[in-house]
């Protein structure tokens, strides 16, 4: 039996319901994606096709085994101690792995899947959500309305790095348990987590059970997961390896800026600046005749920078942003991440 929005369906009943929903004239795009995925999930095929997020390049299509997706779901249900009959909030697009896996966890763990539009997240449904997954942009909006956050008992946050300022806001207004997650489409969502508390070392992640880590010659993370067809996934994420099951995330190798021979990792600078910038921002670069690349701070127009200069003065001069560039708005991918390729083109112009 399967439960969606507090209504229970048999296997044939769920398929019939999904077909009928797809015939609705007022069907929204996020609902269409959900019901198409449900039909695909219960189809005879052994694989699901999905696109990577495309935040650092062109999205690519990959195939994931349904068997591996079920194993990943079971591991998460055990780790986060999610029980049958509990409410799982789906507020992410099912076009991408995070939303897709919330559906798989609900079906695998016999949870009640509560669906809300990703773009206009309002937790007005009655009752508590025992488990929810959000991206930082959604969480930012919910911290402004803490009565909605009170509805969530266990929360995972992924899709982009959680800034230190947003983590502080969360700790001030959230009374449940929250974890920042590390994962990607190829790993079938999270393979490592860090509990978001005031004492947790920043960007230090710990493996889920059965997963281990090594590091390659580029200082990039290699993930070993024997549960998922004995996979060894080489990433482009620079890390400091703390043990075989923990690491400190430094940032994407693709994002490293070579400025006059000095390698600058944008994510590390962003973590330092986060408490001092109220608004959307990122570290990027523009071409420069002398340095090759000039490190710049990109902010959304109207962002308050009143307390910024004091912290900028404490940053090593070779890493310090040399220019501040304002954008009317940040370009986003379809799942809400900053589109780095488009952003670079905008600031170069």
d(CA 76, CA 193): 11
Looking up tokens 């993370």 gives 221
The pLDDT value recorded for residue 55 is 55
Asked if 248 contacts 242 with a C-beta cutoff of 8 angstroms, the reply is yes
Task: Decide which of 199 and 106 is more confident.
Answer: 106
| pTM across the whole model | 0.84
Q: Using one digit for the tens of pLDDT, what is the confidence trace for 26-64?
A: 999 999 999 999 999 999 999 999 987 655 556 778 899
All domains of the chain in start order, with CATH = 2-252 (3.40.50.12780), 256-348 (3.30.300.30)
Q: Using one digit for the tens of pLDDT, what is the confidence trace for 314-344?
A: 898 888 999 889 888 888 776 667 787 888 8
Token reading at 316: 């090593």
The residue-averaged pLDDT of 200-210 equals 85
Looking up tokens 């039996």 gives 1
Asked if 273 contacts 281 with a C-beta cutoff of 8 angstroms, the reply is yes
Q: How confident is the model at residue 203 (pLDDT cuts 50, 70, 90)?
A: confident
Cα 105 to chain centroid distance, Å, stands at 17
The pLDDT value recorded for residue 94 is 94
d(CA 113, CA 107): 8
Task: Decide which of 323 and 165 is more confident.
Answer: 323
Cβ neighbours of 297 (radius 10 Å): 23
Terminus-to-terminus CA distance in the chain, angstroms?
Answer: 55
């Amino acid at each position: 039996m399967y439960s969606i929005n507090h209504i229970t369906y048999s296997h044939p009943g769920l398929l019939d319901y999904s077909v009928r929903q797809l015939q609705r004239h007022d069907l929204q795009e996020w609902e269409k994606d959900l019901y198409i995925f449900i039909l695909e999930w219960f189809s005879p095929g052994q694989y699901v096709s999905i696109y990577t997020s495309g935040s650092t390049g062109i999205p690519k299509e990959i195939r994931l085994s349904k068997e591996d997706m079920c194993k990943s779901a079971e591991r998460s249900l055990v780790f986060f101690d999610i029980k049958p009959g509990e409410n799982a909030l789906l507020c992410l697009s099912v076009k991408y792995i995070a939303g897709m896996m919330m559906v798989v966890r609900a079906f695998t763990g016999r949870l009640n899947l509560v669906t809300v539009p990703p773009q206009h997240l309002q937790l007005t449904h009655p009752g508590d959500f025992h488990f929810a997954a959000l991206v930082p942009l959604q969480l930012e909006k919910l911290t402004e309305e803490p009565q909605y956050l009170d509805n969530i008992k266990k929360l995972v946050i992924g899709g982009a790095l959680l800034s230190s300022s947003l983590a502080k806001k969360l700790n001030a207004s959230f009374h449940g348990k929250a974890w920042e997650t590390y994962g990607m489409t190829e790993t079938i969502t999270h393979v490592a987590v860090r509990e978001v508390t005031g004492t947790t070392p920043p960007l230090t992640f710990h493996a889920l059970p059965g997963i281990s880590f090594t590091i390659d010659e580029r200082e990039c993370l290699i993930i070993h997961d024997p549960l998922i067809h004995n996979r060894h996934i080489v990433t482009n994420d620079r890390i400091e390896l703390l043990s075989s099951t923990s690491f400190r995330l430094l940032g994407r190798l693709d994002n490293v800026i070579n400025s006059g021979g000095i390698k600058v990792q944008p994510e590390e600078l962003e973590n330092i600046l986060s408490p001092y910038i109220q608004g959307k921002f990122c570290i990027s670069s523009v071409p420069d005749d002398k340095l090759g690349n000039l490190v710049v701070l990109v902010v959304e127009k109207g962002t308050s920078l009143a307390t910024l200069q004091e912290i900028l003065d404490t940053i090593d001069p070779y890493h310090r942003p040399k220019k501040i560039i304002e954008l009317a708005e940040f370009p986003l991918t379809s799942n809400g991440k900053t589109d780095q390729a488009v952003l670079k083109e905008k600031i170069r112009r």
